[in-house]
Chains A and B, each alone.
Chain A
Protein backbone atom coordinates (compact mmCIF):
# COMPACT_ATOMS: atom_id res chain seq x y z
CA UNK A 1 0.00 0.00 0.00
CA UNK A 2 2.69 2.44 1.02
CA UNK A 3 4.65 1.71 -2.14
CA UNK A 4 1.65 2.45 -4.35
CA UNK A 5 0.86 5.65 -2.52
CA UNK A 6 4.46 6.74 -2.90
CA UNK A 7 4.12 6.30 -6.64
CA UNK A 8 0.99 8.41 -6.83
CA UNK A 9 2.51 10.97 -4.50
CA UNK A 10 5.44 11.38 -6.84
CA UNK A 11 3.08 11.61 -9.75
CA UNK A 12 1.06 14.32 -8.07
CA UNK A 13 4.06 16.58 -8.01
CA UNK A 14 4.04 16.55 -11.79
CA UNK A 15 0.27 16.83 -12.17
CA UNK A 16 -1.52 19.93 -13.39
CA UNK A 17 -5.19 20.58 -14.09
CA UNK A 18 -6.03 19.16 -17.49
CA UNK A 19 -7.39 21.64 -20.02
CA UNK A 20 -11.00 21.48 -21.21
CA UNK A 21 -9.73 20.35 -24.61
CA UNK A 22 -7.76 17.50 -23.04
CA UNK A 23 -10.88 16.35 -21.18
CA UNK A 24 -13.01 16.55 -24.34
CA UNK A 25 -10.43 14.51 -26.27
CA UNK A 26 -10.11 11.90 -23.48
CA UNK A 27 -13.89 11.52 -23.19
CA UNK A 28 -14.28 11.50 -26.98
CA UNK A 29 -11.71 8.74 -27.41
CA UNK A 30 -13.40 6.73 -24.68
CA UNK A 31 -16.77 7.13 -26.42
CA UNK A 32 -15.26 6.26 -29.82
CA UNK A 33 -13.73 3.05 -28.41
CA UNK A 34 -17.00 2.19 -26.71
CA UNK A 35 -19.01 2.80 -29.91
CA UNK A 36 -16.64 0.91 -32.20
CA UNK A 37 -16.70 -2.10 -29.87
CA UNK A 38 -20.47 -2.07 -29.60
CA UNK A 39 -22.83 -4.31 -31.51
CA UNK A 40 -24.92 -1.46 -32.90
CA UNK A 41 -21.91 -0.04 -34.71
CA UNK A 42 -20.97 -3.37 -36.28
CA UNK A 43 -24.56 -4.15 -37.28
CA UNK A 44 -25.31 -0.74 -38.81
CA UNK A 45 -22.00 -0.64 -40.66
CA UNK A 46 -22.53 -4.15 -41.97
CA UNK A 47 -26.11 -3.41 -43.03
CA UNK A 48 -25.17 -0.10 -44.64
CA UNK A 49 -22.23 -1.61 -46.53
CA UNK A 50 -24.17 -4.69 -47.65
CA UNK A 51 -27.15 -2.67 -48.89
CA UNK A 52 -24.84 -0.12 -50.52
CA UNK A 53 -23.00 -2.89 -52.35
CA UNK A 54 -26.28 -4.43 -53.47
CA UNK A 55 -27.53 -1.05 -54.73
CA UNK A 56 -24.24 -0.40 -56.56
CA UNK A 57 -24.20 -3.85 -58.13
CA UNK A 58 -27.81 -3.77 -59.30
CA UNK A 59 -27.51 -0.18 -60.58
CA UNK A 60 -24.38 -0.98 -62.55
CA UNK A 61 -26.01 -4.02 -64.17
CA UNK A 62 -29.23 -2.16 -64.89
CA UNK A 63 -27.20 0.42 -66.80
CA UNK A 64 -26.38 -2.34 -69.25
CA UNK A 65 -22.70 -2.01 -68.89
CA UNK A 66 -22.76 1.34 -70.60
CA UNK A 67 -22.11 3.02 -67.28
CA UNK A 68 -23.35 6.33 -66.03
CA UNK A 69 -21.66 9.57 -65.34
CA UNK A 70 -22.32 12.26 -62.79
CA UNK A 71 -25.56 11.84 -60.91
CA UNK A 72 -27.05 8.59 -62.04
CA UNK A 73 -28.92 5.54 -60.98
CA UNK A 74 -26.17 4.41 -58.58
CA UNK A 75 -25.82 7.69 -56.73
CA UNK A 76 -29.59 8.02 -56.52
CA UNK A 77 -29.80 4.56 -54.99
CA UNK A 78 -27.03 5.32 -52.50
CA UNK A 79 -28.60 8.67 -51.64
CA UNK A 80 -31.87 6.99 -50.74
CA UNK A 81 -29.97 4.42 -48.71
CA UNK A 82 -28.18 7.19 -46.80
CA UNK A 83 -31.53 8.89 -46.18
CA UNK A 84 -32.82 5.73 -44.52
CA UNK A 85 -29.83 4.36 -42.63
CA UNK A 86 -27.67 7.31 -41.54
CA UNK A 87 -30.40 9.20 -39.60
CA UNK A 88 -31.41 5.98 -37.86
CA UNK A 89 -27.81 5.25 -36.87
CA UNK A 90 -27.13 8.77 -35.64
CA UNK A 91 -30.42 9.26 -33.80
CA UNK A 92 -30.22 5.97 -31.90
CA UNK A 93 -26.51 6.36 -31.13
CA UNK A 94 -27.06 9.84 -29.70
CA UNK A 95 -30.20 8.88 -27.82
CA UNK A 96 -28.54 5.90 -26.18
CA UNK A 97 -25.42 7.74 -25.01
CA UNK A 98 -26.20 9.91 -21.96
CA UNK A 99 -29.39 8.03 -21.08
CA UNK A 100 -27.62 4.68 -20.82
CA UNK A 101 -24.72 6.23 -18.85
CA UNK A 102 -27.31 7.61 -16.44
CA UNK A 103 -29.13 4.28 -16.23
CA UNK A 104 -26.03 2.25 -15.35
CA UNK A 105 -24.85 4.80 -12.79
CA UNK A 106 -21.82 5.88 -14.80
CA UNK A 107 -23.01 9.45 -15.32
CA UNK A 108 -22.81 10.66 -11.68
CA UNK A 109 -19.48 8.87 -11.33
CA UNK A 110 -18.04 10.65 -14.38
CA UNK A 111 -19.42 14.00 -13.25
CA UNK A 112 -17.88 13.51 -9.79
CA UNK A 113 -14.50 13.80 -11.53
CA UNK A 114 -12.91 17.21 -12.17
CA UNK A 115 -14.67 17.74 -15.49
CA UNK A 116 -17.36 20.17 -16.64
CA UNK A 117 -20.68 18.86 -17.88
CA UNK A 118 -20.29 20.46 -21.29
CA UNK A 119 -16.93 18.70 -21.68
CA UNK A 120 -18.61 15.34 -21.12
CA UNK A 121 -21.40 16.14 -23.57
CA UNK A 122 -19.08 17.46 -26.27
CA UNK A 123 -16.63 14.58 -25.82
CA UNK A 124 -19.47 12.07 -26.13
CA UNK A 125 -20.78 13.88 -29.20
CA UNK A 126 -17.42 13.98 -30.95
CA UNK A 127 -16.64 10.35 -30.15
CA UNK A 128 -19.95 9.20 -31.59
CA UNK A 129 -19.54 11.51 -34.59
CA UNK A 130 -16.18 9.91 -35.41
CA UNK A 131 -17.71 6.44 -35.13
CA UNK A 132 -20.51 7.48 -37.50
CA UNK A 133 -18.04 9.03 -39.97
CA UNK A 134 -16.08 5.77 -39.94
CA UNK A 135 -19.22 3.76 -40.62
CA UNK A 136 -20.41 6.03 -43.47
CA UNK A 137 -16.96 6.21 -45.04
CA UNK A 138 -16.53 2.48 -44.83
CA UNK A 139 -19.91 1.81 -46.44
CA UNK A 140 -19.62 4.34 -49.26
CA UNK A 141 -15.93 3.53 -49.75
CA UNK A 142 -16.76 -0.13 -50.27
CA UNK A 143 -19.43 0.87 -52.83
CA UNK A 144 -16.98 3.09 -54.70
CA UNK A 145 -14.43 0.27 -54.75
CA UNK A 146 -16.98 -2.19 -56.17
CA UNK A 147 -18.10 0.28 -58.83
CA UNK A 148 -14.49 0.89 -59.83
CA UNK A 149 -13.81 -2.84 -59.99
CA UNK A 150 -16.83 -3.29 -62.27
CA UNK A 151 -15.45 -0.66 -64.64
CA UNK A 152 -18.14 1.91 -63.86
CA UNK A 153 -17.42 5.46 -64.92
CA UNK A 154 -19.17 6.97 -61.92
CA UNK A 155 -17.64 10.31 -61.01
CA UNK A 156 -15.61 9.75 -57.82
CA UNK A 157 -16.40 13.33 -56.86
CA UNK A 158 -20.08 12.51 -56.52
CA UNK A 159 -19.33 9.67 -54.06
CA UNK A 160 -17.02 11.97 -52.08
CA UNK A 161 -19.71 14.67 -51.99
CA UNK A 162 -22.28 12.11 -50.90
CA UNK A 163 -19.96 10.95 -48.10
CA UNK A 164 -19.32 14.53 -46.91
CA UNK A 165 -23.01 15.45 -46.94
CA UNK A 166 -23.89 12.15 -45.23
CA UNK A 167 -21.46 13.02 -42.43
CA UNK A 168 -23.05 16.46 -42.02
CA UNK A 169 -26.49 14.84 -41.92
CA UNK A 170 -25.16 12.39 -39.31
CA UNK A 171 -23.94 15.34 -37.19
CA UNK A 172 -27.38 16.94 -37.27
CA UNK A 173 -29.21 13.74 -36.40
CA UNK A 174 -26.67 12.98 -33.67
CA UNK A 175 -27.40 16.40 -32.11
CA UNK A 176 -31.11 15.60 -32.07
CA UNK A 177 -30.34 12.19 -30.56
CA UNK A 178 -28.20 13.77 -27.82
CA UNK A 179 -31.03 16.16 -26.99
CA UNK A 180 -33.39 13.20 -26.65
CA UNK A 181 -30.81 11.42 -24.48
CA UNK A 182 -30.43 14.39 -22.13
CA UNK A 183 -34.16 14.88 -21.55
CA UNK A 184 -35.09 11.21 -21.06
CA UNK A 185 -34.28 9.19 -17.95
CA UNK A 186 -34.28 5.68 -19.40
CA UNK A 187 -32.24 4.37 -22.32
CA UNK A 188 -35.19 2.38 -23.68
CA UNK A 189 -37.41 5.49 -23.74
CA UNK A 190 -34.63 7.47 -25.43
CA UNK A 191 -34.16 4.82 -28.13
CA UNK A 192 -37.92 4.53 -28.66
CA UNK A 193 -38.20 8.31 -29.04
CA UNK A 194 -35.30 8.30 -31.50
CA UNK A 195 -36.95 5.63 -33.66
CA UNK A 196 -40.23 7.56 -33.59
CA UNK A 197 -38.43 10.74 -34.70
CA UNK A 198 -36.71 8.80 -37.47
CA UNK A 199 -40.05 7.49 -38.73
CA UNK A 200 -41.52 10.99 -38.58
CA UNK A 201 -38.60 12.53 -40.49
CA UNK A 202 -38.28 9.80 -43.11
CA UNK A 203 -41.92 9.06 -43.83
CA UNK A 204 -44.14 11.43 -41.90
CA UNK A 205 -42.92 14.69 -43.33
CA UNK A 206 -42.85 13.44 -46.95
CA UNK A 207 -46.42 12.22 -46.68
CA UNK A 208 -47.41 15.29 -44.68
CA UNK A 209 -45.97 17.64 -47.29
CA UNK A 210 -47.75 15.81 -50.09
CA UNK A 211 -51.04 15.81 -48.24
CA UNK A 212 -50.59 19.43 -47.08
CA UNK A 213 -49.79 20.65 -50.57
CA UNK A 214 -52.99 19.14 -51.91
CA UNK A 215 -55.27 19.82 -48.96
CA UNK A 216 -54.15 23.38 -48.17
CA UNK A 217 -52.97 24.32 -51.65
CA UNK A 218 -49.64 25.43 -50.18
CA UNK A 219 -47.77 28.17 -52.00
CA UNK A 220 -44.55 26.99 -53.60
CA UNK A 221 -42.35 29.14 -51.32
CA UNK A 222 -44.14 27.74 -48.25
CA UNK A 223 -43.52 24.24 -49.55
CA UNK A 224 -39.81 25.01 -50.02
CA UNK A 225 -39.66 26.55 -46.54
CA UNK A 226 -41.24 23.44 -45.02
CA UNK A 227 -38.72 21.27 -46.88
CA UNK A 228 -35.93 23.27 -45.26
CA UNK A 229 -37.37 22.46 -41.84
CA UNK A 230 -36.67 18.75 -42.40
CA UNK A 231 -32.94 17.94 -42.33
CA UNK A 232 -33.49 14.89 -44.53
CA UNK A 233 -35.12 17.00 -47.23
CA UNK A 234 -32.28 19.52 -46.97
CA UNK A 235 -29.75 16.72 -47.34
CA UNK A 236 -31.60 15.35 -50.36
CA UNK A 237 -31.87 18.75 -52.08
CA UNK A 238 -28.27 19.68 -51.29
CA UNK A 239 -27.00 16.33 -52.60
CA UNK A 240 -28.92 16.69 -55.83
CA UNK A 241 -27.78 20.30 -56.14
CA UNK A 242 -24.05 19.71 -55.67
CA UNK A 243 -23.81 16.41 -57.48
CA UNK A 244 -26.09 17.16 -60.42
CA UNK A 245 -26.33 20.94 -60.15
CA UNK A 246 -30.05 20.65 -60.76
CA UNK A 247 -32.82 20.12 -58.26
CA UNK A 248 -35.59 20.63 -60.76
CA UNK A 249 -35.96 16.83 -60.62
CA UNK A 250 -37.77 17.52 -57.35
CA UNK A 251 -40.56 19.29 -59.21
CA UNK A 252 -42.00 22.77 -58.77
CA UNK A 253 -40.34 23.39 -55.38
CA UNK A 254 -36.93 22.58 -56.87
CA UNK A 255 -37.52 24.75 -59.89
CA UNK A 256 -38.71 27.62 -57.67
CA UNK A 257 -35.62 27.28 -55.45
CA UNK A 258 -33.26 27.29 -58.41
CA UNK A 259 -34.95 30.27 -60.06
CA UNK A 260 -35.18 32.28 -56.83
CA UNK A 261 -31.93 31.51 -55.03
CA UNK A 262 -29.62 30.27 -57.76
CA UNK A 263 -26.02 30.07 -56.58
CA UNK A 264 -26.99 30.93 -52.98
CA UNK A 265 -28.81 27.60 -52.65
CA UNK A 266 -25.76 25.76 -51.32
CA UNK A 267 -25.41 28.36 -48.54
CA UNK A 268 -29.09 28.03 -47.66
CA UNK A 269 -28.79 24.25 -47.43
CA UNK A 270 -25.54 24.50 -45.45
CA UNK A 271 -27.13 26.99 -43.05
CA UNK A 272 -30.21 24.81 -42.56
CA UNK A 273 -28.15 21.69 -41.79
CA UNK A 274 -25.75 23.71 -39.58
CA UNK A 275 -28.78 24.85 -37.57
CA UNK A 276 -29.78 21.20 -37.12
CA UNK A 277 -26.29 20.52 -35.76
CA UNK A 278 -25.93 23.55 -33.48
CA UNK A 279 -29.43 24.22 -32.09
CA UNK A 280 -30.25 20.75 -30.66
CA UNK A 281 -26.70 20.36 -29.31
CA UNK A 282 -26.87 23.82 -27.71
CA UNK A 283 -30.23 22.96 -26.14
CA UNK A 284 -28.87 19.62 -24.93
CA UNK A 285 -25.89 21.38 -23.31
CA UNK A 286 -28.10 23.93 -21.56
CA UNK A 287 -30.49 21.26 -20.24
CA UNK A 288 -27.67 18.90 -19.24
CA UNK A 289 -26.01 21.67 -17.20
CA UNK A 290 -29.12 21.98 -15.02
CA UNK A 291 -30.43 18.45 -14.87
CA UNK A 292 -29.59 15.99 -12.11
CA UNK A 293 -27.40 13.16 -13.41
CA UNK A 294 -28.81 10.76 -10.84
Chain B
Protein backbone atom coordinates (compact mmCIF):
# COMPACT_ATOMS: atom_id res chain seq x y z
CA UNK B 1 0.00 0.00 0.00
CA UNK B 2 2.82 2.42 0.85
CA UNK B 3 6.13 2.20 -0.96
CA UNK B 4 9.05 4.45 -0.08
CA UNK B 5 12.22 4.39 -2.20
CA UNK B 6 15.45 6.28 -1.47
CA UNK B 7 13.60 8.94 0.48
CA UNK B 8 15.85 11.83 1.44
CA UNK B 9 14.69 15.06 3.02
CA UNK B 10 16.93 17.94 3.96
CA UNK B 11 16.15 21.07 5.96
CA UNK B 12 18.61 23.83 5.11
CA UNK B 13 21.08 21.19 3.83
CA UNK B 14 20.83 19.25 7.10
CA UNK B 15 19.50 15.76 6.34
CA UNK B 16 16.37 14.85 8.27
CA UNK B 17 15.90 11.58 6.33
CA UNK B 18 18.58 9.74 4.37
CA UNK B 19 17.96 7.03 1.78
CA UNK B 20 14.97 5.53 3.53
CA UNK B 21 13.42 2.46 1.91
CA UNK B 22 10.20 1.06 3.36
CA UNK B 23 7.43 -1.11 2.07
CA UNK B 24 4.16 -1.37 3.99
CA UNK B 25 1.78 -3.97 2.61
CA UNK B 26 -2.00 -4.10 2.88
CA UNK B 27 -3.07 -4.89 6.44
CA UNK B 28 0.44 -4.29 7.81
CA UNK B 29 0.95 -2.12 10.89
CA UNK B 30 4.34 -0.42 10.92
CA UNK B 31 5.50 1.71 13.84
CA UNK B 32 8.20 4.34 13.46
CA UNK B 33 10.27 4.34 16.63
CA UNK B 34 13.13 6.59 17.55
CA UNK B 35 14.23 9.50 19.70
CA UNK B 36 13.14 13.11 19.06
CA UNK B 37 14.62 14.37 15.80
CA UNK B 38 15.02 10.87 14.34
CA UNK B 39 12.78 11.81 11.39
CA UNK B 40 9.52 10.04 12.28
CA UNK B 41 7.18 13.01 11.74
CA UNK B 42 9.16 14.17 8.71
CA UNK B 43 8.67 10.76 7.11
CA UNK B 44 4.92 10.91 7.76
CA UNK B 45 4.70 14.43 6.31
CA UNK B 46 6.51 13.25 3.19
CA UNK B 47 4.05 10.34 2.83
CA UNK B 48 1.19 12.84 3.04
CA UNK B 49 2.83 15.02 0.37
CA UNK B 50 3.19 17.95 2.77
CA UNK B 51 6.95 18.30 2.27
CA UNK B 52 9.11 18.33 -0.82
CA UNK B 53 11.60 15.44 -0.87
CA UNK B 54 14.03 13.45 -2.99
CA UNK B 55 13.18 9.85 -3.86
CA UNK B 56 9.83 8.27 -4.50
CA UNK B 57 6.72 7.60 -2.42
CA UNK B 58 3.62 5.88 -3.70
CA UNK B 59 0.41 5.27 -1.77
CA UNK B 60 -1.89 2.67 -3.27
CA UNK B 61 0.08 3.04 -6.50
CA UNK B 62 -0.39 6.83 -6.61
CA UNK B 63 2.70 9.02 -6.60
CA UNK B 64 2.21 11.45 -3.72
CA UNK B 65 3.76 14.32 -5.69
CA UNK B 66 2.10 13.87 -9.05
CA UNK B 67 -1.19 12.42 -7.84
CA UNK B 68 -1.37 13.69 -4.27
CA UNK B 69 -5.15 14.03 -4.08
CA UNK B 70 -5.73 10.42 -5.13
CA UNK B 71 -3.03 9.21 -2.73
CA UNK B 72 -4.46 11.17 0.21
CA UNK B 73 -7.94 9.90 -0.56
CA UNK B 74 -6.72 6.49 0.61
CA UNK B 75 -5.38 7.88 3.87
CA UNK B 76 -6.96 8.87 7.16
CA UNK B 77 -4.57 11.06 9.13
CA UNK B 78 -4.47 11.89 12.82
CA UNK B 79 -1.86 14.50 13.85
CA UNK B 80 -0.10 14.86 17.18
CA UNK B 81 -2.34 17.71 18.22
CA UNK B 82 -5.32 19.06 16.39
CA UNK B 83 -5.28 22.80 15.70
CA UNK B 84 -8.94 22.90 14.78
CA UNK B 85 -10.96 26.08 14.37
CA UNK B 86 -12.05 26.67 17.93
CA UNK B 87 -15.43 28.16 17.06
CA UNK B 88 -16.47 25.28 14.84
CA UNK B 89 -18.98 22.84 16.30
CA UNK B 90 -18.12 19.15 16.32
CA UNK B 91 -20.86 18.29 13.81
CA UNK B 92 -19.77 21.14 11.49
CA UNK B 93 -16.20 19.85 11.53
CA UNK B 94 -17.30 16.32 10.65
CA UNK B 95 -19.52 17.60 7.82
CA UNK B 96 -16.75 19.84 6.43
CA UNK B 97 -14.22 17.03 6.23
CA UNK B 98 -16.82 14.55 4.96
CA UNK B 99 -17.47 16.93 2.10
CA UNK B 100 -13.76 17.33 1.36
CA UNK B 101 -13.39 13.55 1.29
CA UNK B 102 -16.51 13.14 -0.84
CA UNK B 103 -18.21 10.99 1.78
CA UNK B 104 -21.98 11.39 2.04
CA UNK B 105 -22.77 10.97 5.74
CA UNK B 106 -26.32 10.26 6.80
CA UNK B 107 -25.81 10.97 10.46
CA UNK B 108 -22.95 12.66 12.26
CA UNK B 109 -24.09 10.97 15.47
CA UNK B 110 -23.21 7.49 14.21
CA UNK B 111 -19.75 8.65 13.15
CA UNK B 112 -19.13 10.18 16.58
CA UNK B 113 -20.52 7.16 18.44
CA UNK B 114 -17.79 5.12 16.79
CA UNK B 115 -15.12 7.05 18.69
CA UNK B 116 -17.14 7.45 21.89
CA UNK B 117 -18.03 11.08 21.17
CA UNK B 118 -21.76 10.51 20.90
CA UNK B 119 -23.85 13.45 22.13
CA UNK B 120 -21.07 16.00 21.58
CA UNK B 121 -22.30 17.21 18.17
CA UNK B 122 -23.30 20.71 19.36
CA UNK B 123 -20.15 21.35 21.37
CA UNK B 124 -17.61 23.82 20.06
CA UNK B 125 -14.13 22.46 19.45
CA UNK B 126 -12.66 24.73 22.15
CA UNK B 127 -14.93 23.04 24.71
CA UNK B 128 -13.42 19.59 24.03
CA UNK B 129 -10.61 18.08 26.11
CA UNK B 130 -7.36 17.04 24.44
CA UNK B 131 -8.49 13.41 24.37
CA UNK B 132 -11.84 14.30 22.86
CA UNK B 133 -10.15 16.38 20.15
CA UNK B 134 -7.96 13.43 19.26
CA UNK B 135 -11.01 11.18 19.10
CA UNK B 136 -12.69 13.71 16.82
CA UNK B 137 -9.58 13.68 14.61
CA UNK B 138 -9.83 9.89 14.55
CA UNK B 139 -13.53 10.05 13.61
CA UNK B 140 -12.62 12.39 10.74
CA UNK B 141 -9.72 10.16 9.69
CA UNK B 142 -12.10 7.20 9.52
CA UNK B 143 -14.69 8.99 7.35
CA UNK B 144 -15.18 6.96 4.21
CA UNK B 145 -13.25 4.09 5.81
CA UNK B 146 -9.89 4.72 4.17
CA UNK B 147 -7.70 1.61 3.80
CA UNK B 148 -4.69 3.37 5.35
CA UNK B 149 -4.43 5.10 8.71
CA UNK B 150 -1.47 7.40 9.40
CA UNK B 151 -0.91 8.52 12.98
CA UNK B 152 1.74 10.98 14.11
CA UNK B 153 2.43 10.59 17.85
CA UNK B 154 -1.28 10.81 18.49
CA UNK B 155 -1.12 10.34 22.25
CA UNK B 156 1.85 12.63 22.90
CA UNK B 157 -0.33 15.44 24.23
CA UNK B 158 -2.66 13.23 26.31
CA UNK B 159 -2.52 12.31 29.98
CA UNK B 160 -2.08 8.69 31.09
CA UNK B 161 -5.83 8.00 31.18
CA UNK B 162 -6.40 9.60 27.77
CA UNK B 163 -3.49 7.63 26.31
CA UNK B 164 -4.87 4.32 27.55
CA UNK B 165 -8.35 5.12 26.25
CA UNK B 166 -7.08 6.23 22.84
CA UNK B 167 -4.75 3.24 22.46
CA UNK B 168 -7.64 0.89 23.30
CA UNK B 169 -9.76 2.62 20.68
CA UNK B 170 -7.02 2.29 18.07
CA UNK B 171 -6.42 -1.35 19.06
CA UNK B 172 -10.03 -2.11 18.16
CA UNK B 173 -9.66 -0.39 14.80
CA UNK B 174 -6.31 -1.91 13.85
CA UNK B 175 -7.91 -5.33 13.69
CA UNK B 176 -10.12 -4.22 10.82
CA UNK B 177 -7.53 -5.13 8.16
CA UNK B 178 -6.51 -1.50 7.77
CA UNK B 179 -2.91 -0.61 6.89
CA UNK B 180 -1.36 1.36 9.72
CA UNK B 181 1.68 3.64 9.67
CA UNK B 182 2.35 5.43 12.92
CA UNK B 183 5.05 7.27 14.80
CA UNK B 184 5.21 6.75 18.52
CA UNK B 185 7.31 7.19 21.61
CA UNK B 186 5.07 4.91 23.64
CA UNK B 187 5.92 1.29 24.19
CA UNK B 188 2.31 0.42 25.04
CA UNK B 189 1.12 1.82 21.72
CA UNK B 190 3.66 -0.17 19.79
CA UNK B 191 2.88 -3.26 21.81
CA UNK B 192 -0.85 -2.87 21.10
CA UNK B 193 -0.76 -1.83 17.45
CA UNK B 194 2.46 -2.67 15.60
CA UNK B 195 3.19 -5.79 13.61
CA UNK B 196 6.60 -4.41 12.63
CA UNK B 197 8.73 -1.63 14.05
CA UNK B 198 11.11 0.52 12.00
CA UNK B 199 13.78 2.03 14.22
CA UNK B 200 14.97 5.42 13.06
CA UNK B 201 18.06 7.22 14.17
CA UNK B 202 19.35 10.50 12.72
CA UNK B 203 17.16 10.10 9.65
CA UNK B 204 18.16 6.52 8.82
CA UNK B 205 16.25 3.28 9.32
CA UNK B 206 18.62 1.29 11.52
CA UNK B 207 16.46 -1.82 11.90
CA UNK B 208 13.06 -3.24 11.06
CA UNK B 209 11.97 -5.77 13.65
CA UNK B 210 8.92 -7.86 14.28
CA UNK B 211 6.53 -6.24 16.75
CA UNK B 212 6.70 -9.23 19.07
CA UNK B 213 10.49 -9.03 19.24
CA UNK B 214 10.54 -5.30 19.83
CA UNK B 215 9.87 -5.36 23.57
CA UNK B 216 12.50 -8.01 24.08
CA UNK B 217 14.93 -6.00 21.98
CA UNK B 218 14.34 -3.01 24.23
CA UNK B 219 14.55 -5.22 27.29
CA UNK B 220 11.41 -3.79 28.84
CA UNK B 221 8.99 -6.68 28.62
CA UNK B 222 8.23 -6.12 32.30
CA UNK B 223 9.54 -3.95 35.07
CA UNK B 224 9.88 -5.37 38.55
CA UNK B 225 9.72 -3.13 41.57
CA UNK B 226 11.60 -4.95 44.33
CA UNK B 227 11.31 -3.70 47.92
CA UNK B 228 14.58 -4.25 49.76
CA UNK B 229 15.52 -3.19 53.29
CA UNK B 230 17.40 0.08 53.34
CA UNK B 231 20.85 -1.19 54.44
CA UNK B 232 20.88 -3.80 51.63
CA UNK B 233 19.53 -1.59 48.85
CA UNK B 234 22.92 -0.50 47.51
CA UNK B 235 24.18 -4.11 47.57
CA UNK B 236 21.07 -5.27 45.70
CA UNK B 237 21.60 -2.58 43.10
CA UNK B 238 25.21 -3.62 42.62
CA UNK B 239 24.42 -7.35 42.48
CA UNK B 240 21.78 -6.81 39.80
CA UNK B 241 24.02 -4.48 37.81
CA UNK B 242 26.95 -6.90 37.80
CA UNK B 243 24.61 -9.67 36.58
CA UNK B 244 23.65 -7.79 33.45
CA UNK B 245 20.50 -5.98 34.60
CA UNK B 246 19.95 -2.25 34.40
CA UNK B 247 18.42 -1.44 37.79
CA UNK B 248 17.34 1.99 38.99
CA UNK B 249 16.98 3.08 42.59
CA UNK B 250 13.41 3.98 43.37
CA UNK B 251 12.18 5.10 46.81
CA UNK B 252 12.03 2.00 49.01
CA UNK B 253 13.36 -0.39 46.39
CA UNK B 254 14.89 -1.02 43.01
CA UNK B 255 13.26 -0.95 39.58
CA UNK B 256 14.52 -3.71 37.30
CA UNK B 257 13.55 -3.94 33.64
CA UNK B 258 13.42 -7.59 32.59
CA UNK B 259 12.43 -9.53 29.48
CA UNK B 260 8.94 -10.99 29.89
CA UNK B 261 10.24 -14.55 30.02
CA UNK B 262 12.82 -13.87 32.74
CA UNK B 263 10.89 -12.23 35.54
CA UNK B 264 12.29 -14.65 38.14
CA UNK B 265 15.93 -14.01 37.28
CA UNK B 266 16.44 -10.95 39.55
CA UNK B 267 15.09 -12.95 42.51
CA UNK B 268 17.70 -15.66 41.91
CA UNK B 269 20.49 -13.07 41.70
CA UNK B 270 19.42 -11.48 44.98
CA UNK B 271 18.98 -14.87 46.70
CA UNK B 272 22.51 -15.85 45.64
CA UNK B 273 23.74 -12.56 47.12
CA UNK B 274 21.79 -13.33 50.35
CA UNK B 275 19.65 -10.22 49.98
CA UNK B 276 16.07 -10.58 51.15
CA UNK B 277 13.28 -9.23 48.95
CA UNK B 278 10.56 -7.93 51.34
CA UNK B 279 7.96 -7.31 48.63
CA UNK B 280 7.66 -6.99 44.86
CA UNK B 281 5.28 -5.82 42.17
CA UNK B 282 5.14 -5.67 38.38
CA UNK B 283 4.79 -1.98 37.57
CA UNK B 284 2.24 -0.76 35.03
CA UNK B 285 2.99 -0.69 31.32
CA UNK B 286 2.87 3.10 31.38
CA UNK B 287 5.48 3.31 34.09
CA UNK B 288 7.51 0.77 32.17
CA UNK B 289 7.03 2.86 29.07
CA UNK B 290 8.16 6.02 30.83
CA UNK B 291 11.20 4.19 32.10
CA UNK B 292 11.94 2.76 28.66
CA UNK B 293 11.77 6.18 27.07
CA UNK B 294 14.10 7.53 29.69
CA UNK B 295 16.52 4.68 29.06
CA UNK B 296 16.21 5.06 25.30
CA UNK B 297 17.07 8.73 25.35
Contact = CB atoms under 8 A, between A and B. Distances in A.
A104 B82 CA distance: 9
B77 A8 contact: no
Interface stretch (A9-17, A127-135, A180-188, A257-265): A9-17
Do most interface residues of chain A lie in helix, strand or loop, or is the interface mixed?
helix
A292 B103 contact: no
Given A37-B87, A108-B50, A17 B102 contact: yes
Nearest to B42: A294
A5 B111 CA distance: 8
A203 interface: no
A161 interface: no
A294 B45 CA distance: 9
A12 B176 CA distance: 15
Nearest to A293: B50
Contact of A292 (B51, B97, B110, B143): B51
Chain A interface residue number, banded: 35 or more
A215 interface: no
B72 A114 contact: yes
A117 to B, nearest CB: 9
Contacts of A104: 83
B84 A1 contact: no
Nearest to B95: A26
A111 B52 CA distance: 13
A12 B144 contact: yes
B69 A114 contact: yes
B107 interface: yes
Chain B interface residue number, banded: 35 or more
B144 A8 contact: yes
Nearest to B102: A18
A151 B185 CA distance: 73
A100 to B, nearest CB: 10
A108 B45 contact: yes
A30 B100 CA distance: 11
Given A4-B114, A8-B142, A34-B87, A294 B103 contact: no
A3 B110 contact: yes
A232 to B, nearest CB: 32
Do most interface residues of chain B lie in helix, strand or loop, or is the interface mixed?
loop
Contacts of A116: 68-69
Contacts of A111: 48-50
A11 B105 CA distance: 6
A34 B85 contact: yes
A17 B87 contact: no
Given A105-B83, A108-B50, A112-B77, A3 B113 contact: yes
B287 to A, nearest CB: 28
Contact of B100 (A12, A33, A114): A114
A149 interface: no
Contacts of B96: 26, 30
Nearest to B11: A292
A12 B102 CA distance: 9
A18 B104 CA distance: 10
B141 to A, nearest CB: 9
Contacts of A30: 85, 96
A106 interface: yes
A1 B173 contact: yes
B110 A106 contact: no
B116 to A, nearest CB: 8
A26 B92 CA distance: 11
B5 interface: no
Contact of A109 (B73, B75, B83, B92): B83
Interface in A115-158: 115-116
B28 to A, nearest CB: 20
Query: Which of B81, B83, B112 is most buried by chain A, counting CB atoms within 10 A of its CB?
Result: B83
B243 to A, nearest CB: 46
Nearest to B169: A1
A7 interface: yes
A173 B84 CA distance: 27
Interface string B186-225: 0000000000000000000000000000000000000000
Given A4-B114, A113-B77, 6 more contacts: A8-B105, A12-B145, A16-B102, A34-B88, A114-B72, A292-B51
11 contacts: A3-B113, A5-B142, A5-B145, A8-B142, A11-B143, A15-B144, A33-B92, A112-B48, A112-B75, A114-B69, A294-B50
Interface of A: 1, 3-5, 7-9, 11-12, 14-18, 22-23, 26-27, 30, 33-34, 37, 104-106, 108-109, 111-116, 290, 292-294
